[in-house]
Chain A
Amino acid sequence: MSQTKEAKKRKMSLEKRHNLTGWIFLTPATLMIAAMSFWPMIQAFILSLQTGTANKLKFDGFSNYSRMFKDTVFMQSLGNTFLYLIIQVPIMLILALILASMLNNKNLRCKGLFRTAIFLPCATSLVSYAIIFRSLFGVDGFINSVLIKFGILNTGYNFLGHATSAKIVIIIALIWRWTGYNMVFYLSGLQNIEYSVYEAAKIDGASPMQTFFKITVPLLKPTILLTAIMSTNGTLQLFDESLNLTRGGPSNATITMSHYIYNQSFKYVPKFGYAAAMSFLIFILVAILAFVQMKVGDKRD
């Protein structure tokens, strides 16, 4: 009796100690995030309650927050950003997953080359890829030449000059650039799955499709959650593509929220209060989406 009690006590204290070790392990990172992100965030929030330009700011409650819903350009940017999110993120993640499981095949030759090639787009500087995409989709660009050659078009179509096609170009550019990036996480996640599982499945006569959906996807769930949250976040904060590929045009048809916030901070007469308020809307949107994703995907079995 006393022995079990003793053991229980020891177990308790051991658990407590491990618990404490866990806290110690995460302290440095947490402190850094608190200082480098949360503290500025609090200040940004205070700023978001102030209206005015430049340094002539005064507290005005939540009027910045109601203002943004009357801001037609901002509302348009919100719509654009969500369109990118809904279309681009699923396509990109599925593509990355398929490519990663293809490249995880042990018998594949030249794996290193394929991997590096597919990763290349995100390592390539934005400057060059913006120039390339603009020239590819230009009126006399490569894509138009091909389409004319195959008789699909009669004359060059100005892809970046029309609202719908410009949005499509941005989505293509995003998929092109970030698929390899997400693939990296899947590849590394796949290493934690024993290869013998796949071999067993093969012996059992499972088709590649079945293997993919029954083994790869469930086992990669933690990684898929990570990439989904990250991509959601990245897309809602999308900035570079809008600025460099289309400069938000034509007629604000492709402008993103972050691009508009940047304009309000640095290009136009600075309105940091308003910019901060819009940033907090993004924050709330991402937080809600991430929360939903966590609820759906973050269960320990």
Chain B
Amino acid sequence: MKRKLLCALLCAAMTATMLAGCGDKKDDNAADTNQEASNDNSASDESASSDNNATDESEEAGDSESSSSEGGNKLTVWCWDPAFNMYAMETAGEIYKKDHADFELEVIETPWDDVQSKLTTAATSGSFETLPDIILMQDNAFQKNVISYPEAFVDLTGAVDYSKFGEAKTAYSVIDGKNYGVPFDNGAVIAAYRTDILEQAGMKIDDFTDITWDEYLEKGKTVLEKTGKPLLSCQAGESDVIMMMLQSCGSSLFDDEGKPAMVDNAALKKVMETYAALKEAGVLVEVNDWDQYISTLTTETVAGTINGCWIMASIQTAEDQSGKWGITNMPKLVDVENATNYSNNGGSSWAVTSNCKNVDLAKDFLASTFAGSVELYETILPKSGALATYLPAGDSDVYGEPSEFYGGDAVFSKITEFAGKIPSNNTGVYYYEARDAVATAMQNVVGGGNIDDALKEAQSTIEFNMEQ
């Protein structure tokens, strides 16, 4: 009996030590990582800790090392493309450092999807302190995020001279008349064509400049007949092409009050008819994903494409096609009010979060770089192809340089010129919902459905989503 008792005691003791051992390990870890965490927290939390430095000495010790505590001269940024916007941000940091020697910039690579989920999670949990000072935001998501979480962003009205940007571009980040973003990259739509293939069909790029979609369709049929190549490819289930067509006449899926306006939207109906006609004629081919879309360009499956100007970077990966591409504006809709040959797809802007403890620094930094430095845009253009939405940059000599890849055309100043002519429209808070609903409607129409019915269904989907 005694032996058994001893055994039981031993057993309990062992379990206890084991658990304690496990616990210890965790605690050690926690202590370690806690230190890290508090170091980093203090980086962005400096005002709080400098107020309380008497209460927490250990944190103070951590603080003294991190630069941001007193001067607050450090900014943290989330953005996602090392060759593009990260490079641009880092260059901006270099430029700003020339005049502000103690300025520090930390750029953390965070894919857009992650920026969005981190932002949503942090804002929903009320843990704003996990956000950086500045984030890069997709223009399409701007309205949604600012209206959903107004407390997460800083009003930048008056911080920069917005008249130096295209109106359509600035409009993405204006909510209730206030500016929340500093525009960055350009999503002006270009139509890019393989000039050599057009030539086989007896046409030139000028034949595709300032045309309508009807003309595009006819010419596309000729190209298809003579060369066997469609003019355009796009992703099935994504509504990029539809949204580009729609914005080209200043129309949107929502009315001015933000109510869904798909049923009885003449422009939208025309867009869908045009799309269906292009698809029907074989001038437009649908592929299933982005990779296949890119490969239709690089493998010469299609004779051209229409997309935001950032698509040029992907086109240019096919070095052997240098000199065979030309760039012009997109076709415009027929019989639609305010139809133009210009539109926008994609693009992003910088936003300052409410976790930023030195808002003045952030504002000054953005104002004197992205919204005030032609030098910045001149530096980043050649290496990254990051086209400015900052209009003064368009006059720069660098932008006027001819591009060999595009047959010696001065494409950059051309695109900057396009950018100034884009009609602005209302993306709306429920942009992504509407986009998906329209894509679904389009797939139904392509599959033989009736446009009006498809749009009715799309509208009711959105209305259902907006009920809450």
Binding site for B on A (CB under 8 A): 10, 14, 17, 21, 24-25, 28, 51-55, 67, 70-73, 131, 134-135, 138-139, 158, 160-161, 246-252, 263, 265-274
Q: Which residue of A lies closest to B429 (CB)?
A: A269
CB contacts (< 8 Å) of B287 on chain A: these are 138-139
CB contacts (< 8 Å) of B22 on chain A: these are 28
CB contacts (< 8 Å) of A248 on chain B: these are 237
The binding surface of chain A is classed by DSSP as: helix
**What separation, in Å, do the CA atoms of A32 and B113 have in the docked complex?**
30
Q: Which residue of A lies closest to B23 (CB)?
A: A28
CB contacts (< 8 Å) of A55 on chain B: these are 123-124, 126, 148-149, 151
Query: Other than the known A17-B4, A251-B440, A271-B468, what 15 A-B pairs have Cβ atoms closer than 8 Å?
Result: A54-B123, A55-B126, A72-B464, A73-B461, A134-B292, A139-B287, A158-B286, A160-B288, A248-B237, A249-B440, A251-B444, A267-B116, A268-B430, A270-B124, A270-B148
The answer to whether B464 and A54 have CB atoms under 8 Å apart is no
Q: Does B144 contact A (CB under 8 A)?
A: yes
Closest Cβ of chain A: how far from B282's Cβ, in Å? Answer: 12
Closest Cβ of chain B: how far from A77's Cβ, in Å? Answer: 13
The answer to whether B433 and A269 have CB atoms under 8 Å apart is yes
The binding surface of chain B is classed by DSSP as: helix
Q: Which residue of A lies closest to B467 (CB)?
A: A67
CB contacts (< 8 Å) of B11 on chain A: these are 21
Closest Cβ of chain A: how far from B260's Cβ, in Å? Answer: 13
The answer to whether A252 and B440 have CB atoms under 8 Å apart is yes
Q: Does B55 contact A (CB under 8 A)?
A: no
**What separation, in Å, do the CA atoms of A138 and B236 have in the docked complex?**
12
Closest Cβ of chain A: how far from B224's Cβ, in Å? Answer: 16
Closest Cβ of chain B: how far from A128's Cβ, in Å? Answer: 11
The answer to whether A249 and B116 have CB atoms under 8 Å apart is no
Q: Does B443 contact A (CB under 8 A)?
A: yes
Instruction: Give the interface residue-count category, chain B.
Output: 35 or more
The answer to whether A14 and B236 have CB atoms under 8 Å apart is no
Closest Cβ of chain A: how far from B300's Cβ, in Å? Answer: 13
Q: Which of B1, B237, B288 contacts A134 (CB 8 A)?
A: B288
The answer to whether B117 and A268 have CB atoms under 8 Å apart is no
A250-B468 contact given A28-B22, A53-B148, A160-B288, CB 8 Å threshold: no
The answer to whether B461 and A72 have CB atoms under 8 Å apart is yes
CB contacts (< 8 Å) of B468 on chain A: these are 51-53, 67, 271, 273-274
**What separation, in Å, do the CA atoms of A24 and B147 have in the docked complex?**
51
CB contacts (< 8 Å) of B151 on chain A: these are 55
**What separation, in Å, do the CA atoms of A73 and B464 have in the docked complex?**
10
Closest Cβ of chain A: how far from B429's Cβ, in Å? Answer: 6
Binding site for A on B (CB under 8 A): 1, 4, 8, 11-12, 15, 19, 22, 113, 116-117, 120, 123-124, 126, 144, 147-149, 151, 236-238, 286-289, 291-292, 429-430, 432-433, 436, 439-440, 443-444, 447, 461, 464-465, 467-468
CB contacts (< 8 Å) of A138 on chain B: these are 287-288, 292
A251-B19 contact given A54-B149, A271-B468, CB 8 Å threshold: no
**What separation, in Å, do the CA atoms of A17 and B444 have in the docked complex?**
67
**What separation, in Å, do the CA atoms of A200 and B319 have in the docked complex?**
68
The answer to whether A265 and B120 have CB atoms under 8 Å apart is yes
Closest Cβ of chain B: how far from A5's Cβ, in Å? Answer: 15
**What separation, in Å, do the CA atoms of A83 and B120 have in the docked complex?**
32
Among A67, A160, A269, the most chain B Cβ lie within 10 Å of the Cβ of: A269
CB contacts (< 8 Å) of B117 on chain A: these are 266
Q: Which residue of B lies closest to A252 (CB)?
A: B440
Q: Which of A139, A250, A267, A272 contacts B124 (CB 8 A)?
A: A272
Q: Which residue of A lies closest to B292 (CB)?
A: A138
Q: Which residue of B lies closest to A248 (CB)?
A: B237
Q: Which residue of B lies closest to A265 (CB)?
A: B120
The answer to whether A250 and B432 have CB atoms under 8 Å apart is no
A249-B120 contact given A14-B4, A24-B12, CB 8 Å threshold: no
Closest Cβ of chain A: how far from B437's Cβ, in Å? Answer: 9
A24-B120 contact given A251-B440, A268-B432, A269-B430, CB 8 Å threshold: no
CB contacts (< 8 Å) of B436 on chain A: these are 263
Please name 7 pairs of A and B residues whose Cβ atoms are closer than 8 Å in the assembled complex, sorted by A.
A53-B468, A54-B148, A55-B148, A158-B288, A266-B116, A268-B433, A269-B433
Closest Cβ of chain A: how far from B392's Cβ, in Å? Answer: 36
The answer to whether A247 and B123 have CB atoms under 8 Å apart is no
Q: Which of A72, A251, A267 contacts B443 (CB 8 A)?
A: A251
Q: Which residue of A lies closest to B119 (CB)?
A: A266
**What separation, in Å, do the CA atoms of A138 and B123 have in the docked complex?**
40
The answer to whether B120 and A250 have CB atoms under 8 Å apart is no
Q: Which residue of A lies closest to B442 (CB)?
A: A251
Q: Which of A21, A131, A249 contacts B291 (CB 8 A)?
A: A131
Q: Which residue of A lies closest to B141 (CB)?
A: A267
**What separation, in Å, do the CA atoms of A263 and B430 have in the docked complex?**
12
Closest Cβ of chain A: how far from B6's Cβ, in Å? Answer: 12
Q: Which residue of B lies closest to A267 (CB)?
A: B432
Q: Which residue of A lies closest to B113 (CB)?
A: A266
The answer to whether A28 and B19 have CB atoms under 8 Å apart is yes
